[in-house]
Amino acid sequence: MSFTTPPRPFDVTALFPQLAPLARIATRLHPRPASPTVHDSSVGGPLLWPAGEPWPHCDEPHDRNAAPVVHSPDDVRLLRRDLAAATERLRLDPEAPEVTPEERENWERIKGGRPWSDGPVPLLPVAQLYARDVPFPRPADADLLQVLWCPFDHAEHPHPRTALFWRSAATVTDVLDAPPEPPVIQSAHYLPEPCLLSPEQVTEYPHPRELGKEIRDQLDDSSRWETIDPARYDAYAYDPGELYLGSLSTAPGWKTGGWSRWDPTDPVDRPCPECGTEEVPLLTIASSEWDGISKSWIAEEEPANPGPPPLGARDGDFTRIDIVGGYNLQLHACPADPSHPHIELVQ
């Protein structure tokens, strides 16, 4: 299914022409639960991974105290399936049992958790992007980007650490059909729900914190918006500054390209660790497709009064990922050579 972002409330460059040269194209990915294959661009789906190439592992130490109970990926998948079945059962029949004996048995078996596992941890697939579907900075000889992560927090990174792999899809003729999985993961939020993508290009403008003081003051000045009917922005925000932030600057959700979002920190320099070139947004791994001030970005195809979201997803959390309590993990790449080390930012 295709998803379409509604038109912006109005053309912000008509009021602030100085923003026009700063426009950037971002590609919203609109992930939705499905059954992707290795030949699809996806979140949490199987990867087109060469059978003869070793699967990557994380060799760093992991904190046993980071979570009181840990589960296997299959435990998480089973609980999600049971939750989805119960939600659908109650939707069809409000008098149906909230929990079946089989679901209760599954919960009782799983709630005690699994034994902690030491040693190298196989990485989990997070995203696979084919250049034919999604534009993104890439090396000249690559048309496929694969993103994996370690499903544990790390001492210097209180979130999963990512690894990027670039390859030419045509060179993968023998595909690994059963990649290893971690025996346990720190959190169910670190296991992406398999999703297909519906890429859509939108225009973005810089986050307010990336603008100079003069233009920020103008954006906050109600008198600068007098040519706009107040009813046109009252529906989107309490003040013009919030209108720009939530509806006119950066799109929420999973995306490639565009501008970085900055919250809670101010913008920081992102020099490439290898060559010093300022890195640019590559992929935003989002906890949600929208939030309280960005609902104007909700796709037109989303039902006005949605029923139970797929697999218990909340507020557009179709991938079931959560980064540090609702933030985004933004990956930045070197435009001079995207194969150089990437930069991770939680915002």
The pLDDT tens digits of the residues spanning 44-99 come to: 999 999 999 999 999 998 888 888 999 999 999 999 999 999 989 999 999 999 99
pLDDT at 313 over 90: no
Give the pLDDT confidence score for residue 177 in this predicted structure: 93
Residue 254: name the closest of 190, 159, 331, 142 by CA.
Answer: 331
Q: Which amino acid is present at 338?
A: P
Spatial contact of 244 and 233, defined as CB atoms under 8 Å apart: no
Note the maximum CA span of the chain: 64
Using left for φ > 0, alpha for ψ between -120 and 50, and beta otherwise, residue 103 falls in alpha
Give the pLDDT confidence score for residue 233 in this predicted structure: 62
Give the pLDDT confidence score for residue 204 in this predicted structure: 98
Q: pLDDT band at residue 310, thresholds of 50, 70 and 90?
A: low
Helices (H) and strands (E) in the chain, counts: 6, 14
pLDDT at 320 over 90: yes
pLDDT at 339 over 70: yes
Give the pLDDT confidence score for residue 117 in this predicted structure: 87
Spatial contact of 198 and 29, defined as CB atoms under 8 Å apart: yes
Q: Hey, is 225 helix, strand or coil?
A: helix
Predicted TM-score (pTM) of this structure:
0.94
pLDDT at 127 over 70: yes
pLDDT at 312 over 50: no
Give the pLDDT confidence score for residue 200 in this predicted structure: 98
Give the pLDDT confidence score for residue 42 in this predicted structure: 98
Residue 8: which residues within 8 A CB-CB, separation 6 or more?
A: 247, 248, 296
Share of the chain above pLDDT 70, in %: 94
Residue 285: which residues within 8 A CB-CB, separation 6 or more?
A: 126, 127, 147, 162, 254, 321, 323, 328, 329, 330, 331
pLDDT at 307 over 80: no
Q: pLDDT band at residue 243, thresholds of 50, 70 and 90?
A: confident
